Structure 1
Amino acid sequence: MTEQTSPTLACPLCGCTQFQQEESRQDSRWGFTTHRMTLMICVQCRYVLHFYDQHSIFDFD
């Protein structure tokens, strides 16, 4: 039996593997659409990686 390991997130700029996790929300131009994102902020160089999951209940797109 082989053991699988999950991939480690690494900063594309400096290679650091430690991140601060934050939540973000971005509204559309007219405010009808809300996109929720998870932000992973590199603790070494402060580069921000954005991860998008799904639309909110107010998304009409």
Structure 2
Amino acid sequence: MKNKVPEYRGKYGFSQDKLAETLGVSRQTIISIEKGKYNPSLPLAIHIAKVFQTSVENLFILEDHDIK
């Protein structure tokens, strides 16, 4: 799944550390999400979207090959 987390993080002036602290997760989790190596749980995805005042659908892009 692709995502716009780095784009929104930059727009809102968050470092990876600050976003991780805000969300209560590790910086490594943020790095993995941004690189597309880890898809967040639904509650975490919703929390990220709320922090950036956008929808989950705007932040995370489901690709055709992600649907099984």
Q: Which has the higher helix share?
A: 2
Higher relative contact order (CA 8 A, sep 6+): 2
TM-score normalised to structure 1 length? 0.27
Q: Which has the higher strand share?
A: 1
- The structure with more radius of gyration: 1
TM-score normalised to structure 2 length? 0.25
